[in-house]
Amino acid sequence: MPLGEHEGQELVSTTMMTTTVTTMTMTTATLLYRLPLATLWLWLLVLVESLANQSLPRSLLEDRLNKPWQPVPSGLASPAQALSQLRDVAVPAALAMGFLSGAALPTALVMVAVWLYNNLDGGQAAPLLRHAPPEARPS
CB atoms within 10 A of CB 68: 10
Identity (one letter) of the amino acid at 122?
A: G
Query: In sequence order, what are the residues at sequence separation of 6 or more whose Cβ sits closer than 8 angstroms to the Cβ of residue 132?
Result: 58, 61, 62, 65
pLDDT truncated to tens, each residue of the chain (139 aa)?
A: 444 444 444 444 445 455 554 455 557 877 788 888 889 999 999 989 888 888 777 778 778 888 888 888 888 888 888 888 888 888 999 999 999 888 889 999 998 888 888 777 666 655 455 555 556 555 5
Break the chain into its structural domains and give their ranges. Answer: 35-136
DSSP labels for 98-138? HHHTT-HHHHHHHHHHHHHHHHS-GGGGSSS--S--GGGS-
Q: CA–CA separation, 6 vs 1, rounded Å? A: 7
Q: CA–CA separation, 128 vs 108, rounded Å? A: 27
- Cβ–Cβ under 8 Å, residues 70 and 54: yes
**For the whole prediction, is pTM greater than 0.85?**
no
